Amino acid sequence: MRKDYTKKLSNVIEINETEIQNHLEELVRGTVEKTINSMLDAEADALCNASRYERSEARKDTRAGHYKRDLQTKAGQVKLKVPRHNVCSQ
């Protein structure tokens, strides 16, 4: 009886390697997308000398939204939100 239980259990557990591979690829692609978008935001903060929505005397320019671009990477195509900014005349 114990042998049948083990046999049934092995029939119940099924590993779909293709599904696991697809899930991992999507996870990596999403991580790459988030990382690049975070880096673009950090660069825009450095150029403005202030973060988004921050009021500061040291602010060099203002944010003007973002535009979307697609980037092909080894991890797959990622959607970027490239920040726009306007230079303040002082």
Which sequence spans correspond to the domains of the chain?
A: 18-87
pLDDT given for residue 88 in this prediction:
61
**pTM of structure:** 0.71
Q: pLDDT tens digits, the chain, 90 residues: what are they? A: 445 444 445 666 677 788 888 899 999 999 999 999 999 999 988 888 777 767 777 777 777 789 999 999 999 999 999 998 776 655
pLDDT given for residue 27 in this prediction:
96
Cβ atoms within 10 Å of 8's Cβ, excluding its own: 10
pLDDT given for residue 65 in this prediction:
84
